Structure 1
Amino acid sequence: MALFSRSRRLPDPLRRSLDLRADAILASAPLVDGRWAVSARRALHLVGEEGAVRTPWADVDRGSLDAATSTLTVHWVSGARTELALDPDADAWDFAQSFRERVQQSVVHVEHVSVPGARGPVRVALRRDEYGDLFTQVIGDGTVDLGDAAVSRAVAAAEAHVRAEAGLAP
């Protein structure tokens, strides 16, 4: 019943400021800083009085939700992180679920490759961009040295394998 719902709707002026490109909003949640996080089919949007930022889902590596603090940490494929403090008085479950589903939808296949000198494995991901086209992404931590010939060969071989499995050109 709407009368007792804690969820709030994205304000119309903010909705109109989004660059939806014929996209559809799936869920939204207010943030404690006054902005809103918006999950659409093709992209994640952060919108506030200062404007909107649109990021395709393929640029999001993963997210982690700290339920105790209502903070969603967005891990970008670049290695950067953004903490989104969700309004604890709002029901953000739909947004968190949609965020998870959209990131997973963009990932088709992942292979993990151990490379010399890195703290952890490199992930070679086959992903779907916002238009449905497939492409590969190589994601590693800051210790991966692509200048090392052995590392470069291992990553290139893994990427070629992932692309071949999907029927894509090397």
Structure 2
Amino acid sequence: MFSRRRQLPAPARAAVPTVGNERLLAGADLADGGWVVATTADLATVSRPDDGARLTLRRPWGDVDRAAFDPERSELTVEWVDAAPDLRLHLADPAGTRLPAVLRERVIWSVVLAETVDVPGGQVRVAVRRDLDGTMYSQAIAGDGVDLYRPEVARVVDATESKVRGACGLPG
């Protein structure tokens, strides 16, 4: 599916090995000389060749909370479900890659069902996500200022999680 595979340099491909039915979907040169690579399972970054073209990050699509591409700045921003610092990637040639579209497609693909609920302190998004092998799991992503361990928050989140899991055929 990745029609530009031959154009992704061999060191970048080698740093992101695929396993089983995983496939390389898209890649892009970064302004700093490294690469970003999207597979059917993960988003990965690879350092510049003079840094050894080594894998610097590899996370599954289920770890991506949100992603956005700013074409004016050629910047791709990825927000993580675990509140790790945002990943900001400056693409060297955004016109020469399908990466922003592939990123969007993979994040959407990983979300089976999601519901946002109001809780004391803000909002929580409860989602059922899927892995490459089709395994489904649920996750609760708290908004800023929300304590998932507060009993009144936990009750709402647990009920919502049970509801979305049941709607997907998973045990509550």
Q: Same fold (TM over 0.5)?
A: yes
Paired residue for 2:54, among 47, 51, 54?
Answer: 51
Which piece of structure 1 moves more, 139-148 or 98-107? 139-148
8 Å CA contact retained: 1:110, 1:126: yes
Deviation at 1:134, TM superposition (A): 0.6
User: Is 1:168 aligned to 2:170, yes or no?
Assistant: yes
Match of 2:105 in 1: 101
Secondary structure, aligned partner of 1:74: strand
Match of 2:157 in 1: 155
The one-character-per-residue Cα deviations of 1:79-138 (angstroms, maximum 9, x if unpaired) are: 231101111x452541111111011100011111100122xx210011001321011010
Which piece of structure 1 moves more, 58-67 or 48-57? 48-57
8 Å CA contact retained: 2:142, 2:148: no
Alignment of 1:78-89 (within 5 A): 78-80=82-84, 81-87=86-92, 89=93
Match of 2:34 in 1: 35
Q: Indicate the RMSD between aligned Cα atoms, in angstroms.
A: 1.7
Alignment of 1:106-121 (within 5 A): 106-118=110-122, 121=123
Alignment of 1:16-35 (within 5 A): 16-22=14-20, 23-35=22-34
Unaligned runs of 5+ in 1: 1-6
Report how many residues are paired.
161
8 Å CA contact retained: 1:8, 1:90: no
Query: Partners in 1 of 2:98 and 2:38 — Cα distance?
Result: 9
Q: TM-score scaled by structure 1?
A: 0.88
Deviation at 1:19, TM superposition (A): 2.8
Alignment of 1:68-79 (within 5 A): 68-79=72-83
Match of 1:4 in 2: none
Which piece of structure 1 moves more, 44-53 or 70-79? 44-53
Secondary structure, aligned partner of 2:126: strand
Query: For residues 90 and 168 of structure 1, do their structure 2 counterparts lie closer, same or farther at Cα, with a shift above 3 Å needed?
Result: closer
Query: For residues 105 and 18 of structure 1, do their structure 2 counterparts lie closer, same or farther at Cα, with a shift above 3 Å needed?
Result: same
Match of 1:9 in 2: 7
